[in-house]
Structure formats: C-alpha cells, structure tokens
Amino acid sequence: MENVGIVGIGWYGFSTNVHDLSFREMMFEAAQRAFYDAGGMNPREQVDAFISCQEDFWEGISISDEFAPDPVGGAMRPTMTVAGDGLQGLAHGFMLINSGVADVVVVESHAKPSDILTFPEIVELAMDPVYVREAKIPNYHFIAGLDATKFMHRTGVSREDLAEVVIKNRASGLKTGRAPHASLLSKEDVLSQEAVVYPLTRVDIARPVDGAVVVVLASETFARKFNDTPIWITGIGFATDNSNLELARLGDALYTRKASSLAFSMARLESPLKVNGLFVDDRYSYKELQHVEALGVTNVAEKFREGYFHEGSYLPVNPKGGHLAKGYPLEASGLSLVLDAVEYMREGASSAIVASWRGIPTFTGGVAVMQR
C-alpha cells in the first residue's frame, strides 16, 4: 500500500451567513484556492476523479450531486458522491488511489445552513419514526445530554472540565481567520449560563456555519509534481457503531474506537501519544474529551486537569479552536478538521490525528493519521 499525499487544500466561508454567494459559488472559490495551493493545477487535465460529500436533506434539492461537478472542474469527468462526512470522502479518495483507479483525486464538501429554515425538523427526520420521533422531544440536544451525563459518570469528567474545554477552544480560535465564535471567556461566564440540556449550556454547543473545503490528493508517485512538501495520510478508517439510538451504547464513542483501530494499524501507530496534535470533533464540549479517550488516551480527566491537551503542552487538542470556535459546516466538518491539521503541520508539527463525527443522531465517525 502506498501513502497518499495532500498536495493542495482550499476553503471559503466559515461564516454564520455567506449571504453573497450560493453553495455552488462557495465550492468554486474553495476549489480555486485548492488548485492554486497544488501548484496551479489544471483540474480539467490533471485530476482523475472527483468526490463530493453531501446530503440531499441539507441541500434541500433532490439528487443534489448533479450540482457537484461544475464548480470544482469535474464536468464530464468521473465524479462520485459520498452521502457522509468529508473524512469519509477522504477515505474513498485514498482507496481510489491505492486501488490503482486514479493518481489524483479531488475531495470536496460544503454546507450552507443559513439557507435552512427548518434545521431541527431535518435532524428529526434522521431519527427512528416509531420510538424516538413519537416521543416528541422538543430539543434534539437531549441525546447529547444523555451521552454526556453517562460519559462524565464513567470517567469522572466534571462540569468544570467541560467549561475549561469551552474556554480553551474558543480562545484558540482567536488566532485563525475562520472562527466567528471565538472569544475570551472566564469559567464564571460559562458556568453561569442556563443549561440548554443538562449538562450543556449554549456556549458548550457549537453552531452550524456556512463553509466549503476542497482537498487535492495524489499518489506517492505524483504528489511531488504538485507540492514539494505534501502532508501524507498514512492511515485512515471510518466506522458506524450503531444505526439507531435505541441500540446504541451511550457514554462512549465506539465508532471512533473502531475507526482509530483501522487507521492506527494501517499507519503502524502504537499510541496517539506519539503524535504532535489531535484535531477531534468538539461540536459539544464533552465530545472533545470523549473522542480523545476513544483514540486510546487513558485517564482523560486527570490529564486534562494537568494541562496535557492545552496549547504548548505535550499533546495539544484542537489548537486551532475546533468547532466550538469555528462552528461546524455539516458534512464538511471532518474536512475542516483536516484543514486545521494541515495548517498546523505546515507551521512545523510533524504529525497529527484527525477524528470526525457525523453528528446527532448518528454513531458514525472517521480517523486519519497524518505525517509530514
């Protein structure tokens, strides 16, 4: 198996409302930047296949993948759609290259939640119609509340620890140009908030944002034709722990445990403690610690209190602010964490792990191991 390199990456948006561009125009802007980053690549001549990660329900358009090829240079070219998170699309690109089908693959994902008028109702459509929808729970965050409570009881993570995650990530986002929810908060600011669903307050919950991310992948043979210093994906995997809430085991991110087992085995990585940074889904504050634990880090409560996961520490977690600072661009959320990791490694770090989650009410996530 050969390594696959990220030779170009581009983004656009990360705003609560990109009012002047459509989602297709956002895709175009992100693609332009990715191809420029890949040494001025011509997608019409130098890309073998295109992958778009999107979901009809979010787009509000039936067969929305028909809109995918044109904005990214893929018209009349091999194009496929992954109805899932962008990190799953990255895994499909990895497989296309390693199976010999393609040498250069473009993966894109985007979101424009500011166009969605009925966000909670769309989330509800993903739930079981007999056992969950019929309960008529007014707030879908209740699933995160149950999951958080069980996780905290099992691991000893406290409400004060969650507040510290919020403070850390929202402050880290102040250093980036795509973090509309970055801010300086005190522990009192967080703990004084009224709970949306116990133990989570408004500031513990990331908000959806408009955004698009495009990634250019190339085989080991072709990568340095486009970029002298590609970021290598040495292991990648994704998994679904369970298909519905009724049968799922709350309080643990089993999907991340399964996906990381695949990715670590592929990358021959013995422990997550051997990399320079973790970029994990934190759309709820407790999810950051839950995903770190599922990657194989033990005693997360104690390590967090000792400062392990803060910037400048032994193992920084979400040093670019994560979703709490940036917001989460729906199916592009995984690629937004990949974008953070690529920038972090271009600044000097030699390795990183990205762990994505597709969000409520799914139990699906992906893990990628990356090295310079």
* pLDDT of the residue at 12: 98
* pLDDT of the residue at 2: 80
Are 105 and 96 spatial neighbours (Cβ–Cβ below 8 Å)? yes
* pLDDT of the residue at 207: 97
Give residue-wise pLDDT tens across range 300-325: 999 999 999 998 898 999 999 999 99
Alpha helices by DSSP H, 205-331 = 223-226, 254-267, 285-294, 300-305, 322-326
State the pairing for strand pair 231-240/364-371. antiparallel
Residue 204's SS3 state is: helix
Give residue-wise pLDDT tens across range 46-88: 999 999 999 899 988 888 888 889 999 999 999 999 999 999 9
Give residue-wise pLDDT tens across range 175-210: 999 999 999 999 999 999 999 999 999 999 999 999
Tokens representing 254 are 């089993």
State the pairing for strand pair 200-201/195-197. antiparallel
CA 141 to chain CA centroid, Å, is 19
Assign 3-state DSSP to the chain and report helix, strand, coil percentages, each to 5: 40, 20, 35
* pLDDT of the residue at 61: 86
Give residue-wise pLDDT tens across range 120-162: 999 999 998 888 888 888 889 999 999 999 999 999 999 999 9
Closest Cα to residue 147, out of 186, 191, 205, 189?
205
Give domain limits for the chain.
2-115+206-224
Tokens representing 365 are 């996530």
* pLDDT of the residue at 133: 87
* pLDDT of the residue at 65: 83
Residue 368's SS3 state is: strand
Q: The whole model's pTM is what?
A: 0.97
Alpha carbon distances (Å) from 245 to 140, 271, 290: 12, 30, 18
**Residue type at position 108:** E
Query: What proportion of the chain, given as a percentage, has pLDDT over 90?
Result: 89
List, as own/partner pairs, every contact residues 94-101 make where C-beta atoms lie below 8 angstroms and the sequence separation is at least 24, other chains included. 94/4, 94/217, 94/233, 94/236, 96/48, 96/49, 96/51, 97/2, 97/4, 97/217, 97/218, 97/219, 98/1, 98/2, 98/4, 101/48, 101/49
Give residue 346's pLDDT band: very low, low, confident or very high (50, 70, 90): very high
Q: What is the DSSP string of 32-69?
A: HHHHHHTTS--HHHH--EEEEE--HHHHTSTTGGGGST
Pairwise CA distance, residues 364 & 352, whole Å: 21
Question: What's the CATH number of domain 2-115+206-224, 3.40.710.10, 2.60.120.620, 3.40.50.300, 3.40.47.10?
Answer: 3.40.47.10
